Amino acid sequence: MEIYAVDVSNHLDRKYFQHLFECLGSQKQYRIQSFHHDDDKERTLIGEILIRYMISHYLNMKPDRVILKCNTYGKPYIEEDPAFFNLSHSGKWVVAVIDHKENGIDVQEIGKVDMNVAKNFFLQREYLELVQLEGEARANLFYELWTLKESYIKTLGKGLSIPLNSFTFEKSKENQYQSFTGKKSVFFQTYNIDPQYKMALGSYNTQLAQDVTILTSNHLYRLFVNSLQNELII
């Protein structure tokens, strides 16, 4: 299992952006161009490039040989290879995971807490736990629960067909959780990549990665270009 987090707060050099943009297919290019804000364009571009680099590094193949498909719920997967990946982005972070078992990852910038969202979408005991907290403690728990729930849904790969209040988690040890809902247990790990963000990983794999590879946008560019030349060195 490999996990990457790219800090996009320092923008790509313009020539790097254009080079990476030209490496994508027309549909991906159109999607990037459809965004009005440059930050959204760059986050989306970095996400696409990170996926391709990550897959090429994990499977030891060139990025231009990577063929992606989507299941009926829109979750992408790698054609003709038993490897699973997932992507998320929020604010200045783009994160991704790849493994031989199904997984889901989510990152969220910590912001204001809407208790109506918690009341409508969380289990009652989760909501009541939030009610008892205030300020930073409430925000930390809210966004930790939110990222855990998102990572669970993404692991199952069934989109929003699963209500957020239909499952919960049991903490097994520090930063690790487990959900027993459904036919198979899902295992979770939370990661502290930034004090202003929450990040959670869900997987059917009981052995979760403990470390996250942190990159900048320009570092990812150099790695990706090297991988095109089959120099897969990190």
Domain segments of the chain: what residues?
A: 2-228
Nearest 5°: the CA angle 77, 81, 86 is: 30
Q: Which CATH superfamily is domain 2-228 in?
A: 4'-phosphopantetheinyl transferase domain (3.90.470.20)
Name the pLDDT band for 232 (thresholds 50, 70, 90): very low
Lowest mean pLDDT among 57-61, 109-113, 176-180: 176-180
Task: Provide mean pLDDT across the span 172-201.
Answer: 85
Stated length of the chain? 234
CA torsion sign for 216, 61, 101, 121 is positive
Q: Which residue has the tokens 């204001």?
A: 112
Residue 187: beta bridge partners? Answer: 178, 203
**Residue 178 exposed, middle or buried by CB count within 10 Å (0-12, 13-18, 19+):** middle
pTM, 2 dp: 0.89
Euclidean distance between CA atoms 22 and 145, whole angstroms: 38
Mean pLDDT of the chain: 88
b/e code 48-57 from CB counts within 10 Å (16+ = b):
bbbbbbbbbb
Name the pLDDT band for 233 (thresholds 50, 70, 90): very low
pLDDT over 70 (residue 230): no
Instruction: Confirm if 220 and 6 have CB atoms less than 8 A apart.
Output: yes
What letter represents residue 176's amino acid?
Q
**Residue 138 exposed, middle or buried by CB count within 10 Å (0-12, 13-18, 19+):** middle
Task: Tell me which residue of 199, 117, 202 sits closest to 164, measured CA to CA.
Answer: 117
Percent of the chain with pLDDT over 90: 65
Query: Using alpha carbons only, how large is the chain's radius of gyration in Å?
Result: 18
Euclidean distance between CA atoms 212 and 118, whole angstroms: 29
Q: pLDDT at position 133, please?
A: 96
90: which 2 tokens?
């929020």
